[in-house]
Amino acid sequence: MAYLLAKDTVNGSEGRVYINQSGRSVEVAGMRNIRADAEIQSQDMRVIGTRTIQGKKNGVKLTGKGNIYYGSNIFTDMVLQYINTGQMPDFDIQITNQDPTTTIGNQVMADARRMLGCLQGRTQKVITGVTVRTAKGMTTFSALSEVEFAPLTEHEIAYYVDKYRPFDKAGAYGIQEWIGAAGIKGITGSFYNVMGLPVQRLYSHLKSI
């Protein structure tokens, strides 16, 4: 059985918050208990020629939350600027984890391009845990696959993220998509495990029950 090593994981429970404004990156707060979510949005559509209504995917809603344990007065200054001038400055928010034990190092969260930038040229371990429960009892096993990424340019990563929108995927990529053909040199283990479920391993287990 394969085990997940602590040094190969990223703990996103604590980090720092930065805003990017006018080309400057400024630290504004520290956060704990950080959580980032991606929710697929859908809209009811009538199927042509029928009375059937089906949901059609039309986007992804990205949200996040966390507890701030210290902060700066930069947002107060922005509010005062808006009161005095009527102009609200534009800015981007970025959250960076501060896990010192990971083999990847500090990493920007909820950013598919940066995540793929961490993976390119490296070998990623994908471990899936499966639990099967029957009337006779419950068993648990895991499957390990290693995915070797080729070096990828910023242009290649940007193309993939903009075209395929992998915001709802673990690792920010789907191996069955363009990046699997163009950006992955090899796989050790199950292809379907990388997709999300070690099908052959599960099938073998079910036959043995």
Catalytic residues: 99
CA distance 4 to 103: 13
**3-state SS assignment for residue 121:** coil
Query: In angstroms, rounded to a whole number, what is the distance separating the alpha carbons of residues 104 and 11?
Result: 11
Q: How far is CA 119 from each of CA 86, 173, 175, 184, 190, rounded to the nearest angstrom?
A: 43, 10, 13, 10, 19
Nearest to 129 by CA among 142, 144, 114, 110: 142
Burial pattern 118-134, b for ≥16 Cβ within 10 A else e, equals bbbeeebbbbbeeeeee
Distance CA 115, CA 110 (A): 8
DSSP 72: -
- Per-residue exposure over 174-207, b if at least 16 CB sit within 10 Å of its own CB, e if not: bbeeebbeebbeebebbebbbbeebeebbeeeee
The two structure tokens encoding residue 168 = 């709802």
